């Protein structure tokens, strides 16, 4: 039986700003099994990034527990790497040197280090641009360097906070396919945050639909479609429709502010 790599149980979070208190997360519980791709899907401000930051060890819960591989998360760890929408490459370092950054401070032999870096760069298809600088690459290629840097660290879990949101549609589709190909090969557990319904249906084994104010997990929806998925297929649209309906049921659905 597959084990739970991430276990979030009854998590509570409030932010206090002067006299104002914002109840961000209310009794949030979910588990992610080894090798799963699970997406937190919800509207802006529902608390998706806050949950991700807790799993990453950047934020603390006010109540409940966040466990990674059976241990309470107390601080960031190399076994659980976060990828952001902002790509965070060092502009003065070449592609290979940016990937090497992820292994800084790790006590591993030089030959193994080199192999891990090259394997990661091959996985994302960047073995031919090793000595180029970030400004010489497209946005999609830069995000691939960031993915390679994470992969070289051989994490158990990759957390992704809208990693493709800044890319144009074609690059986004390309990177989504690459992510699935890599995940199929390495079986890395992935917890993703997005408000893009199509992205969630395309990538996820399960989607955790969140409602807002305070943030709660409203529905845990398995996506029972073989991968790669057909974005234009009937089954795909069936899930899109179900998700939109769930948002209406959750009370998170709002009329647009104006209609053209």
Residues that bind ligand ATP (CB under 6 A): 15, 17, 22, 24, 42, 44-50, 195
Q: Closest distance between ligand ATP and the C-beta of residue 195, in Å?
A: 5
- Give the integer Cα–Cα distance in Å for 254 and 209: 16
Q: Closest distance between ligand ATP and the C-beta of residue 62, in Å?
A: 13
H or E stretch at 206: strand 206-211
Residue tagged 């994470």 (tokens): 150
Q: Closest distance between ligand ATP and the C-beta of residue 241, in Å?
A: 22
Which residue, 47 or 163, is less far from ligand ATP as judged by CB? 47
Which residue, 150 or 210, is less far from ligand ATP as judged by CB? 210
Q: Closest distance between ligand ATP and the C-beta of residue 125, in Å?
A: 29
Which residue, 45 or 139, is less far from ligand ATP as judged by CB? 45
**For the chain, how far is it from start to end, CA to CA, in angstroms?**
52
- Give the integer Cα–Cα distance in Å for 209 and 43: 9
Which residue, 16 or 259, is less far from ligand ATP as judged by CB? 16
- Give the integer Cα–Cα distance in Å for 139 and 22: 35
**Backbone phi and psi for residue 207, each to the nearest 5 degrees, phi listed first:** -120, 130
**Structure tokens belonging to residue 217:** 């997990």
């Amino acid at each position: 039986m597959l084990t739970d790599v991430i276990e979030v149980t009854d998590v509570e979070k409030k932010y206090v700003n002067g006299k104002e208190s914002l109840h961000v997360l209310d009794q949030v519980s979910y588990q992610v099994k080894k090798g799963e791709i699970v997406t937190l899907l919800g509207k802006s401000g529902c608390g998706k990034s806050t949950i991700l930051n807790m799993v990453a060890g950047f934020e603390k819960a006010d109540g409940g527990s966040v466990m990674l591989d059976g241990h309470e998360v107390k601080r960031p760890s190399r076994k659980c790497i976060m990828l952001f929408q902002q790509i965070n490459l060092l502009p003065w370092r070449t592609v290979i040197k940016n990937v090497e950054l992820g292994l800084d401070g790790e006590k591993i032999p030089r030959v193994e280090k080199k192999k891990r870096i090259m394997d990661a760069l091959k996985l994302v298809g960047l073995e031919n641009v090793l000595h180029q600088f970030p400004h010489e690459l497209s946005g999609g290629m830069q995000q691939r360097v960031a993915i390679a840097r994470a992969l070289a660290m051989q994490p158990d879990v990759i957390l992704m906070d809208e990693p493709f949101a800044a890319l144009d549609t074609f690059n986004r589709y390309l990177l989504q396919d690459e992510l699935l190909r890599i995940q199929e090969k390495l079986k890395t557990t992935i917890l993703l945050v997005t408000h893009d319904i199509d992205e969630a249906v395309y990538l996820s084994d399960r989607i955790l639909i969140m409602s807002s104010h305070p943030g709660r997990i409203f529905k845990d929806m398995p996506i029972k479609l073989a991968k790669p998925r057909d974005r234009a297929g009937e089954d795909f649209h069936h899930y899109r429709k179900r998700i939109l309906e769930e948002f209406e049921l959750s009370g998170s659905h709002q009329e647009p502010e104006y209609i053209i």
